[in-house]
Structure 1
């Protein structure tokens, strides 16, 4: 017997606001390890030179390759500490591995990130970079 489709499919979570992202970033930044990370030198210059739209595209691509799979290659060691503003931001925002995503953002391990989770991670990273660039000016 076939079941009928759900007449009320789940609605996607609303996109996070800048205020809600700021609250999350402020909470994560209270952790001493996370508070050590800031954009400096070449990483800061790259963020300024490339601009927010290119950095967002890079973040989306890097998260897709290194974090979105159910079992990322070398999970827990896949994110360098420098070399791109997104890498620094991932450590500062606890979006560097699936364990940190689970612990700090409530995104479970063992399954691929869905579209909304992927967008959320990119939003967190890009908001942190935006705040760093503004603060360094």
Structure 2
């Protein structure tokens, strides 16, 4: 079990976090767009809605439905700076670094992959994802 699996397991014990799952519409959307597009959307949402030191509408910036990434953000506590502080140790009041943003996107995609029934991408022999 890696750090993402351990964190997802911990989050799944939260009654609030465990109630989020992809519905038929979100699954269809993810299938139609493809994993790469969904990962780009996740990166964009993190960069614009969470990464700034003081995000606009913090605490209310992530809808509860309408996109697979929104559901993933709530399920993984990547929905606002308060949740990022509590669950991920990322303090409010400072911008997220590119590596912190990338880590959050990886976590979101791990959750989405699990919900979609995908296996995580395997690393190639050179250490890069396939």
Question: If the TM-score is normalised by the length of the shorter chain, which range does it land in?
Answer: 0.7 to 0.9
Whether 1:80 aligns to 2:63 is yes
After superposition, the C-alpha distances for 1:5-45 in whole angstroms (9 at most, x for unaligned) are: xxxxxxxxxxxxx7221111110111000000000021111
Partner residue of 1:97?
Answer: 80
TM-score of the superposition, structure 1-length normalised?
Answer: 0.83
Whether 1:120 aligns to 2:103 is yes
Runs (4+) of structure 1 exceeding 4 A deviation are none
Aligned equivalent of 1:50, options 28, 33, 38: 33
Unaligned segments of structure 2, at least 5 residues: 119-130
Q: Partners of 1:98 and 1:67 in 2: how far apart?
A: 7
Q: Partners of 2:80 and 2:87 in 1: how far apart?
A: 11
Partner residue of 2:21?
Answer: 38
Q: Partners of 1:50 and 1:21 in 2: how far apart?
A: 24
**After the TM superposition, which of the residue ranges 47-56 and 82-91 deviates more from structure 2?**
47-56
After superposition, the C-alpha distances for 1:18-77 in whole angstroms (9 at most, x for unaligned) are: 722111111011100000000002111111222211111010011111010000001000
Aligned-pair Cα RMSD in Å: 1.2
- Larger radius of gyration between Structure 1 and Structure 2: 1
TM-score of the superposition, structure 2-length normalised?
Answer: 0.87
Q: Partners of 2:79 and 2:43 in 1: how far apart?
A: 13
Partner residue of 2:91?
Answer: 108
Aligned equivalent of 2:2, options 6, 12, 19: 19
Aligned length: 118
